[in-house]
Structure 1
Amino acid sequence: MKGFIFSLLILGGLTAKADLQFDRSISAATKAQILQDLDFVKSMQGSGGSAFYKTIFEKPVLNGTDLLAFFNQRITTFNTNSCGGGNAVAACVIPWMDSNTMWITPNYVKNSLPQIYRISIIFHESRHTEDEHNNWGHVNCPVPYLDDNGKDIVGIISGTKMEGLPACDSTNIGAYGLQAVLLKNVEKNCSNCNQKTQMDAQLFGDDTINRISNLTARKQLQNDL
């Protein structure tokens, strides 16, 4: 996989384990934002967990402590990188450099993304650290790439058509599948999340499901909750 960057087109208590490292190139504002977001993850409490949640996270119920442990098992360091450039990338993993480093771009902070979506981005990227699964690589979206209503699927932030871009997954348990499952479980099963968080999770969760290009796999995700 040398030379490949896995990036996401965006077109309380102990926050992280003690040895989580932040390169000095990470700005104070970015570090504070990441730590605040991880703090929020740890605070989440759940009233249940979907079937795909149990498959991906290997836990029966949405729980912030479990989610943080999942993340910390995969990411040890934050550093900065352009991740291919452009204003539609917030973070990436570059396995041939270091599978356990997450590279952050300025867009993570400056794009004013909803907190739960930022969280879903870094969890999406954490899935790409899994070398044993070939880092869950993305595939090119079909051309044309249409939703269930026959309309072009576009990036929810950028408004750019996804057709032909390496911004889809053919599986529902890869990086986009994890992201969608996390968001939809926050929407449906987070017992201490406020209404805005759950509405954001619904909006971005539905959008992320559309990144599953295999229609059977997409339908399975839609039926998960």
Structure 2
Amino acid sequence: MTLSHRLFYFPSENDTDKSSGYSINLWEPGDMNRKIGTLLILAGTLLITAAQASSLEYRGVPNPVRVKLEDTLTFLKSMKAEQALPKNPASPLHREVFGEFDGENYLRWFETRIKRIGIDSCGGGSATACAIYFMPTWMYLTPYFVRSPLSRVAQLAVLLHEARHSEHDHNGWVHVECPIPFLDDQGQEIKSYFSGDKLAGLKACDDSEYGSYAAEYLFMSHVADYCSNCTATERNEARTIADQGIYRITDLRAREALRRDRADH
């Protein structure tokens, strides 16, 4: 019986005869501390890969951000409605956009649209992320997203919103300009939940009850009302995002359709 000295072997791209590539030789002389450190790094990488909740491919995404996103997607997958409810609580419009209120369903919905995540400025400013329908399956996170301490709920608002933009229908549900002035029902100026920036005159609104902000509203309002394994803080934040976000649907007919959908259900 021959004991191989190669503990790990990583073939190169053109390695057909297994004679090239990268290996760690524990039996040759050298700095044992360095070798052990390398093994620990490799083991950590393998554990992170094994624990990944999604099927996403990451390109240039810092590992801490990747770990944070996977934790958020694990949270998404775990979402369940209150068991005491007689049936799934998804409203008619929610069913049209997402299907039932169910974490595994949400994750499938996301993964059928987004398969790769990279880093890009997305035009700069305080943009958090972007997805473009003519670059299907890609989503880009911005430096603002990377450095911002967004909660899991806030991250999901961004991820599901951008996933809606990746759809070919209606050219990716492009945004329209917000009105000037841009005020809520109490006459207060509407600002971004994430950055606090003023939105009047910016292409940061929708005119449909099926667009990205509508999808974000439907998801967040259902989380606020029905998520049984969310904390009170998470449900309250979801309510805040929904209550503020519905004003991004500036077409009054579409906004009323969303409100009626929730009120009648």
**TM-score (ref. length: structure 1):** 0.86
Distance 1:162 1:104 in 2: 20
* 8 A contact 1:33–1:109 mirrored in 2: no
Equivalent of residue 54 in structure 1, options 95, 106, 125: 95
Shift of 1:109: 3.5
Distance 2:117 2:52 in 1: 17
Shift of 1:14: 6.5
Distance 1:27 1:128 in 2: 24
Structure 1 stretch displaced more, 143-152 or 186-195: 143-152
Change (3 A) 1:14 1:52: farther
Structure 1 stretch displaced more, 145-154 or 189-198: 145-154
Equivalent of residue 70 in structure 1, options 106, 109, 112: 109
Give the secondary structure class of the aligned counterpart of 2:159.
Answer: helix
Which residue does 2:155 correspond to in 1? 118
Q: Find out whether 1:91 has 2:129 as its counterpart.
A: yes
Give the secondary structure class of the aligned counterpart of 1:223.
Answer: helix
The within-5 A match list for 1:75-154 is 75-86=114-125, 88-96=126-134, 98-154=135-191
Shift of 1:26: 0.8
Q: Find out whether 1:31 has 2:66 as its counterpart.
A: yes
* 8 A contact 1:49–1:189 mirrored in 2: no
Deviation string for 1:28-59 (max 9, x for gaps)? 01111111111100000024212221121133
The AA in structure 1 aligned to 2:116 is T
Distance 1:206 1:143 in 2: 20
The AA in structure 2 aligned to 1:63 is D
Deviation string for 1:8-27 (max 9, x for gaps)? xxxxx86113xx2111x110
Give the secondary structure class of the aligned counterpart of 2:66.
Answer: helix
Distance 1:140 1:78 in 2: 27
Q: Find out whether 1:202 has 2:233 as its counterpart.
A: no
Which residue does 1:10 correspond to in 2? none
In structure 2, stretches of 5+ residues that fail to align are 1-50, 83-88
Give the secondary structure class of the aligned counterpart of 2:113.
Answer: coil
In structure 1, stretches of 5+ residues that fail to align are 1-12
Give the secondary structure class of the aligned counterpart of 1:73.
Answer: helix
Deviation string for 1:82-116 (max 9, x for gaps)? 11112x211111334x2210001122242112211
Which residue does 1:22 correspond to in 2? 58
* 8 A contact 2:129–2:141 mirrored in 1: yes
Would you identify which runs of 4 or more consecutive aligned residues in structure 1 move more than 3 Å? none
Give the secondary structure class of the aligned counterpart of 1:79.
Answer: strand
Distance 2:210 2:133 in 1: 19
**TM-score (ref. length: structure 2):** 0.74
Computed over aligned residues only, the root mean square deviation of the Cα atoms, in angstroms, reads: 1.5
Which residue does 2:196 correspond to in 1? 159
Q: Find out whether 1:180 has 2:221 as its counterpart.
A: no
Give the secondary structure class of the aligned counterpart of 2:233.
Answer: helix
Deviation string for 1:169-213 (max 9, x for gaps)? 000111000001100000001122110110110111111111110
Give identity over the alignment, percent.
33
Deviation string for 1:114-134 (max 9, x for gaps)? 211111111000001111331
